[in-house]
Amino acid sequence: MENTVETEIIAAVKMSLRISTSAFDTELAELIDACMLDLKMKGVQKIDDSEKLTRQAIKLFCRANFANGDTKERELYADRYEKLAAAMSLCSFYDKADENGT
């Protein structure tokens, strides 16, 4: 987690989840990676976690998949993520990766 971008996105996800402890940083990093892979599988080729819609998709994915007891809330966030990911996959802005593969 030395990378500043990783630190920034983890901080943003923690704020979204209302978490202040670093005890879940490894799990959150894995969820962030899973989200990026999921976006790629859905056809989103340009994935830049500093870009606002990508960051929002990551936060929605994490809110849907980070354990909490409210199933309806998790389903709501999963639905929002799926809709945003689908829209991103159709947008020409996200259909070509840059030379770094992101």
pLDDT in tens, 15-67: 999 999 999 999 999 999 999 999 999 999 999 988 999 999 999 999 999 97
1 pLDDT band, cuts 50/70/90, is: very low
d(CA 18, CA 21): 10
Please give the model's pTM, rounded to 2 decimal places: 0.87
Q: Which of 99, 79, 89 is nearest to 39 (CA)?
A: 89
d(CA 102, CA 98): 6
pLDDT of residue 96: 72
Q: Is the pLDDT of residue 100 over 60?
A: no
